[in-house]
Amino acid sequence: MKLWPPFSFLERRSVDNPTDEEFAVLTGAVAGTTSLGVALTVPAVQAAIRVISEAAACLDIAVVEIAGDGTETPVRGHPVAQLLADQPNDWQSTYDLIRDLVATALTHDRGGIAWVNRIGSEVREVIRYEPAHTFVDFSTDGRQEPTFKVNNRPVPASDVIHLRSPFGRAPLSLAADAIGVAKVMEGHAKRLFENGAKPSGVLKSPKPIGDDAAKKIAAAFKKAFVGAENAGKVPVLWDGMEFVPITLTSVDAQFLELRKEQVIEIARAFRVPPSMLFELDRATWSNSEQMGREFLTYCLEPWLKALEGAMRRALFTADERRRFAIRFDRDDLTRADLTARATAINSLVASRVLNPNEGRNWLGLAPYAGGNVFANPNTGSNQPGAAAPQPPKEASLGPQ
């Protein structure tokens, strides 16, 4: 019997997204130590990826028009703004799109890729593809733009939203060794409690006892003192026996410290404060707020800037990029602290940096008539509509 086409019984697979066993064969590493599937089973890794990607996805997105003086005005009627305000495709929300793009950039070296489907020059949908279905070829000299393929079909770079981590490597792969150590320690802890769990203590007898006596003593001790209903009872031992509790040794305690250190190492790799991964040993009331600000400034802000640039390049034509831009509303990150926001707005209005309507816009409130006047509401002479103060009259120098 002749087979056609030749070797049709062979399964064709891509090495872009290898299994644990394929990863071990290709790299010589221990299977499972750095693959995505295994890395995500480490809670600290999963928490770091989620806190960055979900924080970015929670922010409102706006299309703004940039005037000649640099001022930016939201444009809700633009087709891109309408697309992002509703849903970028038939099965995803904008939240899902941004979250998955950032999560992919955090976990895959080639970054997160979304294809922009246009009819003519109008954007109709934005579709994110899994890394196994995309291909990116970067120029070796760094001067040419990358070429993209989606499902083995070449697509122009102008139709691709490409979000990539620095150094050309995702934080997940750069922290592979630290994640591998954390996974090995989790496995060690699992085996410790499965195969070598320690009892709470032992009964020590000054004289030898037989097997039958030992079983009876253990059963009697368990019946009299073990269980919630027996908690707090005073134990009475027999024939000079002694109860010796078993506690953690210094080696066991050091193992726990090492596990905490790996959480901090993973947080360091993703630039996330340890407190956001629920490592709260050194978190206090005073430094937790500061660590939150550092997360917004040094961790999340670079990803937001990269997202704004990648989306602006792919969602607008060359002519539109001179006028329009994509902006994430950073104010959403501080909405919980209403007191601080109110104090800041009041100070800016009083110093005439903002007018009342601009301050209301920060709170998502509608403007009111007369609110565009720059005046200090805390002083009577500067109230809107108040008469301007008159200069003092000169004193008379004639004879008294």
Q: Are residues 177 and 143 part of one domain?
A: yes
Q: Are residues 351 and 308 both part of a single domain?
A: no
What distance in Å separates the CA atoms of residue 297 and residue 308, rounded to the nearest whole number?
Answer: 16
Q: Is residue 30 part of a domain?
A: no
| Pair (104, 162) in one structural domain | yes
**Does residue 362 sit within a domain?**
yes
Q: Write the CB contacts of 239 (distance below 8 Å, at least 6 apart in sequence).
A: 205, 206, 207
Per the CB < 8 A criterion, the answer to whether 354 and 345 are in contact is yes
Q: Quick check: helix, strand or coil at residue 327?
A: strand
**Domain match, 95 and 237 both:** no
Residue 384 lies in a domain: no
Indicate whether 6 belongs to any domain: no
Domain shared by 76 and 212, yes or no: no
pTM value is 0.69
pLDDT digits (tens, 9 = 90+) for 337-367: 667 778 888 899 988 898 998 888 877 788 8
Residue 288 lies in a domain: yes
Domain-located, residue 400 = no
pLDDT of residue 219: 83
Catalogue the long-range contacts made by 351-354 (C-beta closer than 8 Å, 24 or more residues apart): 351/376, 352/376
What token pair was written down for 59?
């922010």
The answer to whether residue 390 is domain-embedded is no
The answer as to whether 90 is a domain residue is yes
Q: Are residues 226 and 92 in the same domain?
A: no
Query: Is the per-residue pLDDT at 86 higher than 50?
Result: yes
User: Rounded CA gap, 82 and 63, in Å?
Assistant: 9
Query: Is 176 in the same domain as 70?
Result: yes
Grouping H, G, I as helix, E, B as strand and the rest as coil, residue 149 is strand
> Residues 183, 186, 192, 194: is their CA dihedral positive or negative?
negative
Please check whether residues 222 and 81 belong to one and the same domain.
no
Number of domains in the chain: 3
Please count the other Cβ atoms lying within 10 Å of the Cβ belonging to residue 346: 14
Strand order in the sheet with 134-137: 134-137, 147-150, 153-155
Q: Give the residue numbers spanning the domain of 364.
A: 337-379
272 pLDDT above the threshold of 60: yes
d(CA 207, CA 200): 22
Same domain, 269 and 345: no
| 3-state SS assignment for residue 119 | strand
pLDDT at 5 over 60: no
